[in-house]
Amino acid sequence: MNYYTLKILLYEIEPLIWRRIKISGEATFAELHKAIQNAMGWEDKELHEFRYGKGKNLIDVIATPDPEIIVGGEFQNENDLTLDTFFKRRRVNTRMLYRYDFTEDWVHELTFESKVDEEGGEKVVLLEGERACPPEDCGGSWGYKDALEGNIEWMDDDYDPEFFDVSKVRFD
């Protein structure tokens, strides 16, 4: 069975917030979405999409059909498309964007780093990562930065932006 290792990097936040996962090639992009949600600590309350293309023209979209998703090129349904099918005609060292919550516009860069053929195991494994993900509904990267600087008082006392424990992440 093929497994893909990918790095997930959240844009517009310094220091970087990132995760590295290994996921089965049999997983659909809908399952990849769920894996990203779990790895990052998001609550899966909002729309999302995967965007890819050549150069800066990321007009091809993989998502669940919805009128809010704007497609300028090819559209593929994430519930049907597996990673193995997607990479059948592409190099593995591929980058794409994963957008979550179109209002707050959390943009993640996904870099598919490698593909290995291994005997079966877990469908998704979190390998490593750094820093806590921003809380859901905090106002996007700008609201998050303002809260870290003490300008917005939404952050509770239990939230530590530096703390991330790989062992606490569960994939459902």
- Written as six digits, the tokens of 74 are 């090819």
Query: 29-39: per-residue pLDDT in tens?
Result: 999 999 999 99
Per-10-residue mean pLDDT for the chain, 172 residues long? 96 95 97 98 95 87 94 95 93 90 96 91 95 90 84 72 92 83
How do the domains of the chain map onto residue ranges? 2-167
Q: What is residue 96's predicted lDDT score, i.e. its pLDDT?
A: 95
67 upstream amide cis, omega within 30 of 0 = no
Q: What is residue 71's predicted lDDT score, i.e. its pLDDT?
A: 92
Pick the CATH number of 2-167 from 1.10.1280.10, 3.20.20.70, 3.10.290.30, 3.30.420.10: 3.10.290.30
Query: 114-153: per-residue pLDDT in tens?
Result: 999 988 789 999 999 999 999 888 889 988 888 888 776 6
Torsion of CA 52, 53, 55, 56, to 10 degrees: -60
Q: What is residue 154's predicted lDDT score, i.e. its pLDDT?
A: 66
- Written as six digits, the tokens of 63 are 């998502």
- Nearest by Cα to 95 from 31, 7, 33, 157: 7
What's the N-to-C CA distance of the chain in angstroms?
20
